Structure 1
């Protein structure tokens, strides 16, 4: 099943006292169930803007965008929020953890919107996910007591706890050392494989990019394919 389809998608923002800024133009992208796609690009190339469109945080200025088989333009209000909350998992570069809440409380947050067993078992489910990212002994620690790498792993656990069908990862290993980063990517891929979720990863790390089935570069607002392999040390 095709989970993401962008057809001639563009994104332009209005600026005060300046000409409109075109960030994305004529973007074509199709991602199937279970597929792994990596996107590289220089800072300011529009990678985060593209991820926000795919995650239904923003809307395209032009073109057609279909997420999980639905036209994004028809997803409004509560329906849009439900699709984003239930079916899409975000791994943010800035973590976006709730201050003053423990690691397990942060990971439980997405489950508060579930019904049935997941809601009532949310603490157990969150604890199991934290154990999978190596934080089983840090469940009661607040973000300010965690290192950057630990905060990133909490953010990853929170994104995966609902087992979304589409996982959007913005530099998911940016705050981790090489060994831990590889372990965390294995976890993300493992959870994605369990549910046949699609995984779209934005990364500056060629080693992380090479893990994907398909490699793309965002350049001058357009998505272009890379060669079958991403050369180590290539600019991103």
Structure 2
């Protein structure tokens, strides 16, 4: 196995509530993520999936436990180093596309490169163009987000997340705002680009069909990750086909 990009041991997250007992969201999460891994995490609403994703993406810190990124413990990182590590090493794709409405598709993808030094900053227009071409939007570079379909907006969001060539991609319900067919196309694209880039991909999802694409699938329950195999319910098309066959 390749050396882990992420190594989590015993992660907990507790939130203090006024006039109530503390809320324990994560109770001891262990996870190793290596280059090329594709991992899915499922769980009911409120189970702490997004909390875990924020910790793995260096947006938040655990209450207890250890998290290492490329062998460096989170506790030893200054705030500045953590921000630089997240900016260069982690790409985020969310259910809500979070595109800037007053910017074109290309300008949205350029945004992360404004914080890049040297070559990345000066080549940001070319790099954004190349990334949008890779996701099939070479003809839509100068379109505003409100002129793009939901699937196209998600493609722009994926291009923005990957333009700095992160080693870890975190996708939080990336197909949740899309219809089934468009969602399948987006997952095909995300899988392909992650594989081509040699990046690890962690997908948070409620959809067992999306989870089943992963090499390793987990369910977050009672604050702990349990490795599992998604149980796929038959689609309407499959049921119709079975009825025709009978």
TM-score, reference length from structure 1:
0.91
2:14 to 12, 15, 26: 12
For residue 63 of structure 1, what is the aligned residue in structure 2?
65
Give the conservation status (yes or no) of the 8 Å contact 1:218–1:224.
yes
Question: What SS does the corresponding residue of 2:133 show, helix, strand or coil?
Answer: helix
- Deviation larger for 116-125 or 57-66: 116-125
Q: What's the CA shift string for 1:129-157, capped at 9, x where partnerless? A: 22232333332222333333332221111
Count, aligned residues: 232
1:130 to 127, 132, 152: 132
Distance in 1 between residues matched to 2:132 and 2:178, nearest whole Å: 16
- RMSD value over aligned CA atoms? 1.7
For residue 241 of structure 2, what is the aligned residue in structure 1?
none
What is the correspondence of 1:13-92 to structure 2 with a 5 Å cutoff?
13-92=15-94
2:108 to 103, 106, 109: 106
Is residue 232 from structure 1 mapped to residue 232 from structure 2 by the alignment? yes
2:225 to 198, 220, 223: 223
1:210 to 212, 236, 240: 212
Deviation at 1:82, TM superposition (A): 0.5
Structure 2 stretches lacking a partner, 5+ long: 235-246
Deviation at 1:122, TM superposition (A): 1.3
Give the conservation status (yes or no) of the 8 Å contact 2:151–2:186.
no
TM-score, reference length from structure 2:
0.88
User: Larger radius of gyration, structure 1 or 2?
Assistant: 2
Give the conservation status (yes or no) of the 8 Å contact 1:163–1:192.
no
- Deviation larger for 73-82 or 179-188: 179-188
